[in-house]
Amino acid sequence: MTPFSERAEEMSLDISLAYKGLYSYSDQYCEVVYRQLHPQQTIVGDENGSHETDGDYTPLIGIYTKDPDSLSYKYCGYVSNMYKFVGNGALMDRIRTSINEVGIPISVENAMFTPNYTRMRTEIIIRSSKAIPEMTDVFPIIIVNNSYNGTRAASLAFGIGTDYNQREVITFSFTLGEIRQVHIESSTTSLASAVNSYMQVFNEDITQMITDSFHKQVSEDDMMALLEVIQSFGKRRREQISDLLDEMAEQGRSPTAWQVFLAIVRYTSFEQNLNVKKMLENIAESVLVIPTRMHQVLNQLGSN
């Protein structure tokens, strides 16, 4: 594969300081600089203007990030020479264009980042809801993931949101139907088609998914097994999700799949660790009763 330095310009990185081994990108979310690392260490800021990473080249590229209001960059690790960069802002522009092609109005965008800005998750809430009998309204969301350190490739996923107790918005992302970076880089028309397919299956099948999940009870053994898996992410998380479930479950009855799903997703909506958030969402997805047609459509979207 072509080295990072030779691909920097086509990846939309600023190459004005390429002669110093620096490649940068900035948008409304944050700023990032990639620097060719060198094994020989010298004193920072000596009379020759050298840097601690100066010396012979290595196949590693250092990552330095900062938020738009900060004056200094923070070292955040490194990527290999083969790393493929995708800017957060450019990625979001591409997704918005695809949504606009479908003619669907965006209601809210909620962008979340790891503390060092190397990973992003942005939830796009669509201004369209489905009334579920005897339950709260739900609405479709589109989730965009990206990273600057190679821990997660750019992707687009689909999900649902709901106003929990009419006070707080909770959101969820399907693993099914996730569109990977290689497909995101295809035409915006293809992405628009995927968005349109999800909107159609959402409108046609979301009521059945929730109703079927609401009527399926989770056995005590299955519930204990589920909580043991959750405890692998920390005892505190298990206790808090269990407490949320106790609030929802009816006295003397096993919880329903929908109640278990809501308890996990209500917790994950406020989880700051994006890796744990995604893994808990996978557990929540496993308890849902997903209609056959919806499952097929999501599978098809993820495999295109």
pLDDT in tens, the chain (304 residues): 788 999 999 999 999 999 999 999 999 999 999 998 876 544 344 444 445 444 455 679 999 999 988 889 999 999 999 999 999 999 999 999 999 999 888 888 999 999 999 999 999 998 777 777 767 788 999 999 999 999 999 999 999 998 876 667 889 999 999 998 877 777 788 889 999 999 999 999 999 999 999 999 999 899 999 999 999 999 999 999 998 888 877 766 788 999 999 999 999 988 889 999 999 999 999 999 999 999 999 999 988 6
| Count: domains in the chain | 3
- Do 95 and 47 share a domain, yes or no? no
Of 56, 80, 104, the last residue of a domain is 80
- Do 178 and 295 share a domain, yes or no? yes
Domain extent at residue 299: 88-213+291-303
Dmax over CA atoms of the chain, in Å, equals 76
Q: Which residues contact 176 (CB under 8 A, 6 or more apart)?
A: 285, 290, 295, 298, 299, 302
- Do 182 and 252 share a domain, yes or no? no
Query: What residues does 122 pair with on adjacent strands?
Result: 111, 144
**pLDDT for the residue 57:** 55
Of 29, 58, 80, the last residue of a domain is 80
- Do 66 and 157 share a domain, yes or no? no
Pairing relationship of beta strands 155-164 and 106-113 according to DSSP bridges: unpaired
Q: Which residues contact 210 (CB under 8 A, 6 or more apart)?
A: 132, 135, 138, 258
- Do 112 and 192 share a domain, yes or no? yes
- Do 202 and 270 share a domain, yes or no? no
- Do 112 and 189 share a domain, yes or no? yes
**pLDDT for the residue 169:** 82
198 contacts 158 by C-beta, under 8 angstroms: yes
Whole-Å CA distances, 163 to 39, 167, 291: 53, 6, 23
- Do 68 and 169 share a domain, yes or no? no
- Do 199 and 251 share a domain, yes or no? no
**pLDDT for the residue 137:** 83
**pLDDT for the residue 254:** 82
The whole model's pTM is what? 0.86
- Do 209 and 271 share a domain, yes or no? no
- Do 39 and 127 share a domain, yes or no? no
- Do 51 and 110 share a domain, yes or no? no
280 contacts 170 by C-beta, under 8 angstroms: no
